[in-house]
A and B are shown apart, each in its own frame.
Chain A
Amino acid sequence: MIRLLYFAWVRERIGTGEETIEIPGELSLSELVGLLAGRSPGHAAALADRARLRAAVNHEFAAWDARVAPGDEVAIFPPVTGG
């Protein structure tokens, strides 16, 4: 099981800020996003353009080739705009 968090317009397009999914084992962030995009039209719309997305695994920014495993917390969001 992976805990997924979405923020800003990613959250709005998907329609929820948080969900959990079962994954068979370790996979890359890229593969995870591909899997998620198939869950609903909202997921597909939110995750279509990876250049506009950033991700974090267990509270650390992570690249698309980073590995994720059951038990991880993965967040997907637009580039940050704080400050």
Chain B
Amino acid sequence: MFEVRVTAEPFDSAHEQARLAALGPDVGALVGFTGLVRDHPLLIEHYPGMAERAIRRVLDEVCTRRALLGAIVIHRFGQLAVGEPIVLVMTAARHRAHAFAAAWQLMDYLKTEAPFWKKAPTGWVEARAADERARAAWTAR
């Protein structure tokens, strides 16, 4: 199961984790990252069509380097309040090393390659150079 969802709806991390855990007896490691709206509400704009495709491409690329048994990536859009989940990356593998590395790499890639934009009450959030460096570091490894 390698699933990508771009949605306005909230998600339930525990439910998604249970789905990955049920993949089979060889699943020995599950790693999940949930990104939350921090400090102030956010409007998340996205490019429908390209967003799903870009995340799918990122997932395919990470899968060529990590022995994953499954992964779920969910990214929300729309108006979100402080504390609400924005993004979920969850990976399933036989062992923790691949699950951890894949989840981390997926997040670093998403930050720079998925067409989403955040608007805070003070204006559009600027892209961070640190995110570009984090993304570039994976190809140097």
Contacts and interface: CB of A to CB of B under 8 A. Distances in A.
B118 A82 contact: yes
A66 to B, nearest CB: 15
A8 B119 contact: yes
Q: Could you say which interface size class chain B belongs to?
A: 20 to 34
A78 B46 CA distance: 12
A82 B124 contact: no
Chain B contact residues: over half helix, strand or loop, or mixed?
mixed
Contacts of A7: 45, 47, 115, 117
Given A9-B124, A75-B50, A77-B47, A83 B107 contact: yes
Interface of B: 35, 44-47, 49-50, 53-54, 75, 86-87, 107, 110-119, 123-128, 131
Interface of A: 5, 7-9, 56, 59, 61, 75, 77-83
